[in-house]
Structure 1
């Protein structure tokens, strides 16, 4: 059975973005209460109280008692929005529920027996969590705070499936009830070790290294001669230009 929480709310008359900003500045959270064949109601919640509740995992799957103007409704938390970068709640959605109508909710999975599982303790495997929560269907009075998956008997390469989870009376896993796949929720697998392979650098043989060393000075000398040869035509061209220019000066 889930933990009980009670929320004190106020009716909200002012609407719109500007009004919502003003309300948040004075520590209020705009919210809506809807469902159970009743008209939706815009309400205000205390921001600090809601922040404390949202930090409690049990709050997210609990049946909430919402008091508005002396009237009480049973509800569940359906959604909430946070500010992109500030620790501020922007809006909350609460859905009324009926005690006689089944609801479906996502409840968290808690894993037990990991440390004593043979696949971990004796066979060197590691636990892989494949699901963090499960959608269940039940009456509000039967809604569990969480479900447990026991891994204590698992060997290497074995897994626990949805059908292996022990369910409280009156609770069913929604997907299995509708013929869905019996998916694994956790498994024990081997540890993969990836070895880094160093790049292979070719080392020349002793004779090849000596030949390369001997050829290096000769190659450098050849490059120097080419550069010197390129300079000679350039100097000759400059001399011819000066000769051609000399008669012009005499004519003046």
Structure 2
């Protein structure tokens, strides 16, 4: 069931108005979708943060724009103010509940591997998996139990249980967790302490 989020129309796009919107605790936002014209709106910052915290990153949101019928959307992207740590802008994507879509879902490893207790090192090569599902079936995260892994064991996407609601799109042979011997986790070569530092960002025209 979609959670409702109220929104107001935003027609004045001047910098002064946008600044005032943020000062009032709202977030300038855009709503768009396949075959739909993009629209500018505002939503309350605290309400949006609470929705994402309570319902998850891939929650279906019933966006209630003033004087209009609610529209099912997902939070597609957002930007944060790097200094104040506040929401700066949000993008909402209009979803068709009957149509599958491709999204990246966080991958979480659970448990302490047997091999780690014996001195091995648990490695996680990937932290997101791409899945295809209808909006209502998109998982908030993929959890994988690793407690039975011994040193030298690994788990690939092909080892994950098949779910009725979604399918994995990444290569099935992709390793998502492995326990390696402690020596294998060490870097092959120690850095040369006498080596000169590499200069980054310089050009032939510098100083001219």
Report the TM range for the smaller structure's normalisation.
0.7 to 0.9
Q: 2:169 aligns with which of 151, 174, 181?
A: 174
Match of 2:182 among 163, 188, 191: 191
Aligned to 1:12: 10
* Aligned residue in 2 for 1:60: 57
Aligned residue for 2:70, secondary structure, equals strand
| Separation in structure 1 between the aligned mates of residue 4 and residue 83 of structure 2, nearest angstrom | 28
Gap regions ≥5 residues in structure 2: 187-208
TM-score (norm 1): 0.66
Aligned-CA RMSD value: 2.1
Higher helix share: 1
CA contact (8 A) 1:136 1:172 kept: yes
Report the equivalent of 1:218.
none
The structure in which a higher percent of residues are strand is: 2
1:119 aligns with 2:110: no
CA drift at 1:4? 4.4
Q: How many corresponding residue pairs?
A: 184
Asked which structure has the greater CA Rg, the reply is 1
Verify the 8 A CA contact 2:7 2:65 in the aligned structure 1.
yes
1:88-139 residue CA offsets vs partner (Å, 9 max, x unmatched): 1111000001012111111112222x32x33123x32132222222111011
Separation (CA, whole Å) in 1 of partners of 2:58 and 2:176:
19
1:47 to 41, 45, 48: 45
Instruction: Give the match for residue 88 of structure 1.
Output: 86
Distance 1:57 1:151, change over 3 A: farther
